[in-house]
Structure 1
Amino acid sequence: MASAPRSAVATSPMFVPADSLHSLLTHETLIEHFRSSLPTVTPSISTPIRQSYAVSPDASLLLMPSWSSHPSLPYIGVKLVTYFPDNSHRDLPGIHANYVLFSSATGQTLATMDGTVLTLYRTSSVSGLASSILSRNDSEVMVMVGAGALAPHLIQAHLAARPRLKRVIIWNRRIDKAISLAEKMRGEGRFEGVSFESGGYLEEIVPLADIVSCATNAEEPLVMGRWLKPGAHLDLVGSFKPTMRECDDEAVRRAADMGCLFVDNRVAMEEAGELAGAVERGVIGEEEIVGDLVELVKGEKVGRRSPEEITVFKSVGSGVVDILTAQLVYDMGLKHVPQPCS
């Protein structure tokens, strides 16, 4: 879904606020954009390792640059992210971000957009794409672990990937947030035939789930491998440094034993506490991480092979999906922004 870039003249950069992003993007269109674009353009995109700086004992500043040499993706992009986990106690999102898109032909600034909402869409749509390959076609029950800003997006992305889902159970350390999100999802009235509810005990609701999606700041495992039923798909999103873990070693080991342990990109082996820790403790070897998202989409790696397999997908994010999301936003935005006459 590439567009011809604006002509190389001085023009004001497009500004895309959060509200406009909601009107330009859907999880369905972004999942399909990733599915069609990742195999083609990924080899031509340079994505240096994310730079992370501790600005306080708990808070971080992250810089995520990327640039493309592919003719259909003539862009340079940089995302600036702040991570303040204590914001959960202030009723604020833990992540704030801005994304800047430049022309790779002229260096001109083409667009600035709300990077927080962009991240929510791209992260959840990566999980949705992986779920469309790794979860069971007949998945009916989803457990959402966490009720922060990312949770409703993950729910929508998994619903887009698996339209047979009919029950979503939301868990959060603060049960009031789980109840509130369930009520919000019900109140939107967009998900016909899907029930939304809150659950109080993970050990009771995880065994019910065909899909378990986690988006938390946990540093101690929340999901235990022994709770996962045969055929379950575990989607791990929250951790992005070795000290963070959303599941225990048993969950990782069970998927690895079945040849069903996947990542969005290979950086996850270094950044994700679930994987880095399991390798360090000798639970798995690095070679047991079977493949990444691009290999799954291209069919170079086989995802689910039987209804009984437990699959695990760990994502940490990358500049590749950032720049592809920004491309789609820019393409859609151009259709709504008047262009100068030639």
Structure 2
Amino acid sequence: MLVISSEQVHNTLSFDKLVEALHVGFAKPSGSPPRNVYELNPVTHDAFAVLPAWNEHYIGVKAFTYFPHNPEQGYDSLYSKILLFNREFGEPLALIDGTSVTLWRTACVSALASQYLSKSDANHLVFFGSGKLAPYMIGAHLSVRPISKVTVIARNSDKASKLCAHLSALYPQVAFELGVSDEHTISSADIISCATGAHEPLFNGDWLSDGTHVDLIGNHHKNARECDSTTITRASVFVDSRENVLKEAGELLIPINEGVFSEPQVVAELSEMHTLQWQRSEQQITVFKSVGMALSDLLSAALVYGLTR
């Protein structure tokens, strides 16, 4: 059985390869039960999660721990591993670093959704956040759309400045700038991507211009959200997994509780988009809400394994 490190994951994966692997994999039959998240401590919000999935080639399970106060003690807040098995005989094949895979698959799931939902000529990305996911999220969006300008909005201006400098070196053809969440910035965006720990909406949904695509991946709490109800009611809404999102995400659960949105209004989940008859109009606002699902972990781990062995 192979043991694949985070360094090997980063050296193996690319946005183009993984977006394509997800595109193909989500279109094929698979099993992906709801992920199970167990709260270990209601005060500190320590948690343990298990995500199983399988397809015609592999069986996989990702397990991760999330201890948000760990950095105060010198530990990472999240640890994760993916165990991959052969589907035909059930033979263990690889133990893969799950933290690095999660960075790549989260970003590439959003990029795949953007391929389906954003305008093909989208050129201005507004990105909220400056954490570990930020360079992956931005890089993935750049890989699927002809983006020429990225505006980064973050609470930590020092981290945001370093992020822009880092990305400017990687993507010299793109203009990176720091910004603020105001009507001018939001209304000028073709794509808005949010990867924050915010509990309150990051922008006013009335500011969105027709045709904007909104990508929401930061929140996993029922009573928190990165966008307001106006954004949801103005948009066609898509999700990575109905079952997971409608169990965890305040972006949809709060408008549902307010009576301004309902579960049947979710147009499709990611595995349905390749056969969807829905067509975006130039004026249509779209929202993609993702909380993570096991199938994307399985497909990403399988790609790493196939390229490493």
2:10 corresponds to: 22
Structure 1 residue 223, shift from structure 2 partner: 2.3
1:307 maps onto 2:273 in alignment: no
Q: Helix, strand or coil for the counterpart of 2:209?
A: coil
2:261 corresponds to: 284
Structure 1 residue 167, shift from structure 2 partner: 0.4
Summarize deviations over 1:163-183 as a string: whole Å, max 9, x none: x10001111111111111001
1:261 maps onto 2:237 in alignment: yes
Distance 1:303 1:269, change over 3 A: farther
> Which residue, out of 109, 126, 129, partners 1:126?
109
Counterparts of 1:1-342 in structure 2, within 5 Å, are: 13-42=1-30, 45-55=31-41, 57-68=43-54, 70=56, 73=57, 75-86=58-69, 94-162=77-145, 164-188=146-170, 191-255=171-235, 260-267=236-243, 268-296=245-273, 298-304=274-280, 306-334=281-309
Alignment partners' CA distance in 2, 1:85 and 1:14: 30
Rg comparison, structure with higher value: 1
Alignment partners' CA distance in 1, 2:144 and 2:75: 29
Unmatched segments (≥5 aa) in structure 1: 1-12, 335-342
Alignment partners' CA distance in 1, 2:72 and 2:179: 21
Distance 1:69 1:293, change over 3 A: closer
Give percent identity, aligned residues only: 37
TM-score of the two chains, using structure 2 as the length reference: 0.93
TM-score of the two chains, using structure 1 as the length reference: 0.84
Summarize deviations over 1:198-232 as a string: whole Å, max 9, x none: 11344442222100000111111112211211111
Letter in 2 for 1:178: A
Structure 1 residue 299, shift from structure 2 partner: 2.4
Q: Is the 8 A contact 1:211 1:233 kept in 2?
A: yes
Structure 1 residue 195, shift from structure 2 partner: 1.0
Q: Is the 8 A contact 2:52 2:294 kept in 1?
A: yes
Q: Is the 8 A contact 2:181 2:203 kept in 1?
A: no
Alignment partners' CA distance in 1, 2:105 and 2:37: 19
Alignment partners' CA distance in 1, 2:230 and 2:83: 41
Alignment partners' CA distance in 1, 2:71 and 2:148: 29
Structure 1 residue 322, shift from structure 2 partner: 0.8
Alignment partners' CA distance in 2, 1:140 and 1:87: 38
Alignment partners' CA distance in 2, 1:58 and 1:242: 17
Q: Is the 8 A contact 1:265 1:293 kept in 2?
A: yes
Letter in 2 for 1:176: D
Alignment partners' CA distance in 2, 1:91 and 1:125: 30
Alignment partners' CA distance in 1, 2:181 and 2:291: 26
Distance 1:62 1:27, change over 3 A: farther
Alignment partners' CA distance in 2, 1:333 and 1:252: 41
Structure 1 residue 307, shift from structure 2 partner: 1.2
Structure 1 residue 319, shift from structure 2 partner: 0.6
Q: Helix, strand or coil for the counterpart of 2:218?
A: coil
Alignment partners' CA distance in 2, 1:262 and 1:29: 23
Structure 1 residue 243, shift from structure 2 partner: 2.1
Q: Is the 8 A contact 1:15 1:112 kept in 2?
A: yes
Letter in 2 for 1:275: L
Q: Helix, strand or coil for the counterpart of 2:26?
A: helix
Q: Is the 8 A contact 2:35 2:52 kept in 1?
A: no
Structure 1 residue 119, shift from structure 2 partner: 0.4
Alignment partners' CA distance in 2, 1:196 and 1:51: 36
Structure 1 residue 94, shift from structure 2 partner: 4.5
Structure 1 residue 331, shift from structure 2 partner: 0.5
Structure 1 residue 102, shift from structure 2 partner: 2.4
CA RMSD of aligned residues (A): 2.0
